[in-house]
């Protein structure tokens, strides 16, 4: 996009005219009576015009240059709000602020009126969103493809300490950013049966008959890169029924049936499945995954044929790369093969070569229960032709395994796409690995564990396929936008180059001993903590002291992430204060936020325990404000943007070997929080970057835990019996201290940790965690020492920009330079 | 359901005058085509130029006509729009039923076989 040459006054005046025009003629509202929501809509519509110009210019440039295109398939895109990000990236923030001021409107207020687009559960979806920002900033022809869920991740309310889920109708008012493209709708068949016939030449011809049809209608969300030179898009599909089809039923007088048909078709893109729910057997989820894959591939082929002609499919992989964000879109392997073999009339071997050359797969989890598999009968019912294709892929692949390792039935069983048993299953990870030319993990440790523990046989078979791409986060959203105070200080000190080249933050190191810089750094942090204190007062009615240590754990609620370990330490501190009269080295505010999957009982109980501990601690006069506990409800991107800049201590305390990477750890360190963490996920690489003196590492290593699990040698009872600290804390949890009206409510935690094996090693890590916490508190009580460490954390976060991650993907996997 | 039909030297040309060939008209279509076959027309060109939506019932009805024509007769489909052609390819029916771009090409093919 070529930026229009205009002075700021002209831009401001043009923007005012555009906002008034959009309010009046787009929304039917005079500008003198705009509510915040209406003003947001009018501003967004005005910005949308600039974005559309940019998108069209960008597309023309890619076409002219014959750019190779990257398609990032993900069931989740956790985008958050778009207005602020768009204004920053297009360089229009101050113009817009000024224009609105002239109209008597406060930009900050209308930014708060924008609902978060919560089309994701957590890290995986937010990673996809960060990647889109980096792709556009780097000028790469990269597109997100996902589903336009009518309901995003549920809104979380807390009642009597318990999580209550409320529907998130995020798009109820209509998103001003989305551009619907009905002319590019596609027809997707599902269900049906295979009729085994012969073709005109007498060859085998399996025909897919008796299917039902879905219509996929795309809507585009423009993605501006920083500087506005490139505007890519995220294409999101909604499922619709065929209007023609419905109208016929309607004409036949069966209105109710027409409506029912419509509802069942549109159910496909109705709701985002929460993470951590058992999805096996969930037909709707399988339909969703197929719907995304099928719509995407049709769109890719349509665009490719338009650019290169219908006869150039043999060159497909030189112009198209597809990245699978986890196994959720792994059906792409079968759908691409079906398209090439059935529709494009490719021979099997040529189709297979093209499929592997085009696809890359990113693994995101080592948790066995999170590896998707679908029962064969369900799969056959929904996608009969795809099951045939998968059987054929598997037959040919297992022949290769047999050649490599003759008569090794164990290897054949572990590597087969089909899991044998009373009910057979289709293993989606195996399908994705076999069908891709690249398989990557998302942090060094995780990628190692993929090859040594998760799929070692595949690694032995294809070592060259496996690689690591350590995650990153976009500094535009997580520093420039989320923390304008720090961003301003950084730009003033080292220039603005860091915004697109985060390694330049190293330029801060010479200032680490500069007392005036340190003082300003601390001022920025204190101001951010004041803002968060206001939020906590508004949401929780708890007063917190901005001078206290803000100890933050914000992430999905899951046992392996060990919010419970944090809580055990809080209980320990509480008991030290009230029973022993101890004075903490520094007042501490422990802040939690995160959602539990609606069906995940233990995680929801942990939320209840946090709230009950908060109730007790915050209202006990003996504590004298040395300790506060807060659970801020409804964790989401916009709330993270408020919490992260205010953090002093970042809790990254998962059981070693269980967190793939984490990206919250990067966002928090980038904003000057010090990490207290285990040697897990990307914490290890954060340690490598910041150095041992600037991080608090504790606990068992992944290999210790694996060994103890293998040998069944962990005895949590021993920790309970032999550590006074552990015993006091666990007894307090077991008793009624934190559930006076509901005796025995948390006894299950005592049993799980002390008597039932403590699968996540809370007790084994408790003492080293407590020691690390003490050290952190001592350091925090020395502001100059603490600020030095915090500044060095910021300065050494260059590696964790998603720009670096995307460059690695582009070069090593996608063949895009 | 309405049809246009005309006898050419090479074949009977049948054109459904609807824009949908779906479950609501598939049976009617099947009976109509069966009558044509029973009346001794064993070479049929099916002109789909007005059709913009076919569902699996519609495709099934076309397959049924092909089967009714066996072993001596032949059905050729022509003028299928891109969206309809895509469904023939998706189901691999294009490998069973010859697809031609227009009536003239279909008639030429019919006469050469």
What's the pLDDT tens digit per position in A628-678? 999 999 999 999 999 999 999 999 999 999 999 999 999 999 999 999 999
Q: How confident is the model at residue B83 (pLDDT cuts 50, 70, 90)?
A: confident
B interface test, pick of A211, A295, A384 with most B CB neighbours within 10 Å: A211
Catalytic-residue membership of A556: yes
Contact between A780 and A109 (Cβ < 8 Å):
no
Residue A3, pLDDT score: 45
Q: Where are the beta strands (DSSP E) in B26-95?
A: 43-47, 53-54, 74-78
Q: What is the rounded (10 degree) CA torsion for A48, A53, A57, A60? A: 90
CB contact under 8 A, B90 and A244: no
In angstroms, the separation between the Cα of residue A341 and the nearest Cα of chain B is 10
Taking only residues 215 to 244 of chain A, the set having a beta carbon closer than 8 angstroms to any beta carbon of chain B reads 242, 244
Taking only residues 243 to 302 of chain A, the set having a beta carbon closer than 8 angstroms to any beta carbon of chain B reads 244-245, 248-249, 252
B91 touches chain A (CB under 8 A): yes
Residue A534 has pLDDT above 70, yes or no: yes
Nearest to B92 among A187, A205, A244 (CB): A205
Residue A263, pLDDT score: 55
Nearest residue of A to residue B75, measured between CA atoms: A200
Q: What is the DSSP string of A731-750?
A: HHHHSSTT-TTSTTTTHHHH
Residue A260 has pLDDT above 80, yes or no: no
- Report CA A327 to chain centroid distance, whole Å: 14
ipTM: 0.88
CB contact under 8 A, B95 and A200: yes
Q: Is A70 helix (H, G, I), strand (E, B) or coil?
A: strand
CB contact under 8 A, B22 and A248: yes
Q: Which tens digits make up the pLDDT trace of A278-294?
A: 555 588 999 999 999 99
d(CA A235, CA B49): 32
The full set of domains in chain B, from first to last, is 3-112 (3.30.750.24)
Residue A407 has pLDDT above 80, yes or no: yes
CB contact under 8 A, B96 and A205: yes
Residue A278, pLDDT score: 57
Nearest residue of A to residue B51, measured between CA atoms: A244
Q: Is B62 helix (H, G, I), strand (E, B) or coil?
A: helix
CB contact under 8 A, A342 and B89: yes
Q: Which tens digits make up the pLDDT trace of B32-56?
A: 999 999 999 999 999 999 998 898 8
In angstroms, the separation between the Cα of residue B62 and the nearest Cα of chain A is 12
Chain A residues lying within 8 Å of B86, measured CB to CB: 187, 343
**Residue A327: which residues within 8 A CB-CB, separation 6 or more?**
A361, A363, A371, A372, A428, A429, A431, A432
- The b-or-e profile of A272-288 (16+ CB within 10 A means b, else e) is bbbbbeebeeeeebbbb
Q: How many residues are there in chain B?
A: 113
Catalytic-residue membership of A561: yes
Whole-Å CA distances, B8 to A573, B31, B66, B95: 95, 22, 19, 25
B111 touches chain A (CB under 8 A): no
Nearest residue of A to residue B98, measured between CA atoms: A200
Q: Is the pTM of this model over 0.90?
A: yes
Q: Which tens digits make up the pLDDT trace of A500-509?
A: 999 999 999 9
Q: Which tens digits make up the pLDDT trace of A214-252?
A: 999 999 999 999 999 999 999 999 998 765 444 444 445
Catalytic-residue membership of A709: no
Pull the structure tokens for residue A592. Answer: 């939690």
pLDDT above 90 coverage of chain A, percent? 88
B interface test, pick of A199, A298, A336, A341 with most B CB neighbours within 10 Å: A199
Size of interface A-B (CB pairs under 8 A): 63
Contact between A701 and A691 (Cβ < 8 Å):
no
Q: Read off the pLDDT of each residue in A564-572 and give the average, rounded to a whole number.
A: 98
Residue A21 has pLDDT above 50, yes or no: yes
Nearest to A429 by CA among A356, A291, A329, A288: A329
| Fold classification of A475-800 (topology level) | Rossmann fold (3.40.50)
Q: Which tens digits make up the pLDDT trace of A24-58?
A: 999 999 867 789 999 999 999 999 999 999 999 99
d(CA B48, CA B94): 14
CB contact under 8 A, A245 and B20: yes
B86 touches chain A (CB under 8 A): yes
């Amino acid at each position: 996009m070529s930026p229009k040459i205009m002075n700021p006054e002209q831009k401001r005046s043009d923007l005012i005219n555009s906002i008034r025009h959009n309010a009046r003629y787009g929304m039917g509202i005079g500008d003198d009576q705009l509510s915040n929501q209406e003003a947001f809509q009018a501003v967004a519509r005005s910005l949308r015009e600039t974005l559309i110009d940019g998108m069209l210019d960008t597309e023309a440039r890619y076409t002219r240059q014959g750019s190779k295109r990257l398609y990032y398939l993900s069931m989740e895109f956790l985008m958050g709000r778009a207005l602020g990000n768009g204004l920053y990236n297009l360089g229009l923030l101050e113009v817009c602020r000024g224009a609105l001021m002239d109209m008597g409107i406060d930009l900050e207020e209308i930014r708060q009126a924008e609902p978060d687009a919560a089309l994701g559960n957590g890290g995986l979806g937010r990673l996809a969103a960060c990647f889109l920002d980096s792709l556009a900033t780097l000028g790469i022809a990269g597109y997100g493809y996902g589903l336009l869920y009518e309901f995003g991740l549920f809104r979380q309310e807390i009642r009597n300490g318990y999580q209550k889920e409320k529907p998130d109708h995020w798009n109820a008012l209509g998103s001003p950013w989305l551009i619907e493209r009905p002319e590019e709708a596609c027809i997707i068949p599902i269900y049906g049966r295979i009729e085994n016939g012969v073709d005109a030449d007498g060859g085998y011809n399996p025909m897919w008959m008796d299917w039902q049809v879905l219509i996929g209608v795309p809507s585009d969300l423009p993605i501006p890169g920083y500087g506005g030179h490139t505007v890519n898009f995220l294409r999101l599909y909604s499922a619709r029924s065929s209007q023609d089809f419905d109208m016929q039923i309607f004409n036949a007088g069966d209105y109710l049936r027409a409506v029912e048909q419509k509802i069942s078709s549109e159910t496909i893109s109705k709701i985002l499945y929460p993470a951590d729910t058992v999805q096996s057997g969930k037909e709707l989820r399988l339909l969703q995954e197929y719907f995304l894959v099928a719509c995407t591939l049709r769109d890719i082929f349509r665009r490719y044929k338009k650019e290169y002609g219908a006869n150039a499919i043999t060159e497909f992989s030189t112009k198209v790369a597809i990245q699978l964000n986890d196994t959720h879109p792994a059906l792409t392997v079968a759908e691409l093969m079906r398209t090439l073999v059935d529709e494009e009339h490719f021979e099997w071997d040529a189709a297979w070569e093209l499929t592997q050359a085009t696809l890359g797969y990113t693994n995101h989890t080592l948790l066995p229960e999170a590896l998707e598999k679908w029962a064969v009968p369900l799969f056959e019912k929904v996608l009969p032709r795809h099951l045939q294709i998968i059987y054929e892929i598997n037959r040919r692949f297992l022949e290769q395994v047999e050649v490599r390792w003759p008569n090794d039935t164990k290897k054949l069983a572990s590597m087969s796409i089909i899991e044998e048993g009373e009910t057979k299953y289709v293993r989606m990870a195996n399908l994705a690995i076999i069908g891709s030319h690249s398989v990557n993990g998302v942090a060094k440790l995780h990628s190692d564990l993929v090859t040594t523990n998760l799929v070692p046989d595949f690694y032995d078979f294809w070592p060259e396929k496996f690689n690591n791409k350590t995650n990153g986060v976009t500094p535009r959203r997580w520093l420039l936008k989320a923390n304008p105070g720090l961003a301003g200080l950084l730009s003033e000190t080292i220039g603005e180059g860091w915004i697109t080249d985060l390694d330049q933050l190293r330029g801060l190191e010479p200032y680490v001993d500069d007392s005036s810089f340190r003082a300003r750094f601390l001022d920025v942090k204190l101001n951010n903590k004041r803002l968060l204190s206001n939020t906590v007062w508004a949401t929780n009615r708890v007063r917190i002291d901005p001078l206290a240590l803000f100890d933050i754990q914000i992430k999905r609620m899951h046992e392996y992430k060990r919010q419970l370990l944090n809580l055990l330490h809080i209980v320990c501190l509480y008991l030290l204060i009230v029973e022993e009269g101890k004075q903490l080295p520094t007042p501490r505010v422990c802040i939690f936020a995160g959602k539990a999957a609606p069906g995940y009982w233990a995680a929801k109980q942990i939320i209840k325990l946090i709230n009950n501990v908060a109730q007790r601690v915050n209202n006990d006069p003996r504590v004298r404000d040395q300790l506060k506990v807060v659970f801020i409800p409804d964790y989401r991107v916009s709330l993270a943007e408020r919490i992260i800049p205010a953090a002093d201590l970042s809790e990254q305390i998962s059981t070693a070997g269980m967190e793939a990477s984490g990206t919250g750890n990067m966002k928090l360190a980038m904003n000057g929080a010090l990490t207290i963490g285990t040697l897990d996920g990307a914490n290890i690489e954060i340690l490598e970057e910041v150095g041992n003196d600037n991080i608090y590492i504790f606990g068992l290593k992944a290999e210790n835990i694996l060994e103890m699990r293998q040998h069944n040698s962990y005895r949590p009872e021993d920790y309970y019996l032999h550590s006074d600290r552990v015993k006091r804390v666990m007894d307090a949890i077991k008793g009624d201290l934190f559930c006076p009206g509901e005796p025995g409510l948390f006894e299950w935690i005592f049993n799980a940790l002390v008597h039932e094996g403590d699968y996540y090693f809370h007790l084994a890590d408790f003492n080293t965690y407590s020691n690390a916490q003490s050290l952190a508190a001592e350091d925090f009580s020395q502001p100059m020492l603490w600020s030095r460490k915090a500044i060095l954390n910021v300065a050494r976060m260059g590696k964790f920009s998603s720009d670096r991650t995307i460059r690695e993907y582009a070069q090593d996997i996608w063949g895009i330079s | 359901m309405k049809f246009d039909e005309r006898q050419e030297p090479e074949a009977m040309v049948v054109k459904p005058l609807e824009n949908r060939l779906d479950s609501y008209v598939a049976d009617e279509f099947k009976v109509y085509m069966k009558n044509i076959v029973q009346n001794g027309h064993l070479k049929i060109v099916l002109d789909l130029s007005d059709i913009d939506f076919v569902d699996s019932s519609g495709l099934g009805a076309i397959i049924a006509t092909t089967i009714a024509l066996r072993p001596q007769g032949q059905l050729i489909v022509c003028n299928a729009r891109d969206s309809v052609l895509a469904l023939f390819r998706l189901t691999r029916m294009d490998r069973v039923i010859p697809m031609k771009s227009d009536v003239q090409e279909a008639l030429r093919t019919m006469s050469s076989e």
